[in-house]
Amino acid sequence: MKTTVVWNGNMSFSGQSASGVTIPMDAAKDVGGNDSGARPMELLLHALAGCTGIDIILILRKMRLDVRAFSMEVEGTRAEDHPKRFTEIHIHYALEGDLPEEKVVRAIRLSKEKYCSVSHSLHAAITASYSINGVRGKETI
């Protein structure tokens, strides 16, 4: 896998992925940026959510379950001192559909423990919760 990142001046960069997608990145104005793109640490949270989300949809489809809607809220806590890495990340999965809780929990666990290459590339403690049809699940994963 390969990506190309080009400096656009100031604190702005553009990442060109192997799949042809361009991702703008920039810093906040208080550190010399123009707020013209996502922060790299924000993209890390997006990457984690995208990775685990794809896993979960694939797993639930293999279980022949129909997911009507699916979203995730990802919250990262960063260290106070440099390098200000993520020390904790929490993902809340909100799913809609006729989804048995035990199967949703299994899909989340499989993503977290086996399949999500992004989460396995991080050192942060990652936890997860979920809701099905607006009802919060019983387990923290």
Please tell me the predicted confidence (pLDDT) of residue 86: 95
In-domain check, residue 65: yes
Interval 41-67: pLDDT, tens: 999 999 999 999 999 999 999 999 999
Euclidean distance between CA atoms 18 and 38, whole angstroms: 19
Residues 51, 95 within the same domain = yes
Residues 91, 122 within the same domain = yes
In-domain check, residue 9: yes
The DSSP secondary-structure symbol of 121 reads: G
The one-digit pLDDT tens for each residue of the chain (141 residues) are 889 999 999 999 999 999 999 999 999 999 999 999 999 999 999 999 999 999 999 999 999 999 999 999 999 999 999 999 999 999 999 999 999 999 999 999 999 999 999 999 998 889 999 999 999 999 999
83: preceding bond cis by omega (within 30 degrees): yes
Query: How many angstroms separate the first and last alpha carbons of the chain?
Result: 30
Calculate the CA 31 to chain-centre distance.
25
Residues 54, 73 within the same domain = yes
pTM assigned to the model: 0.91
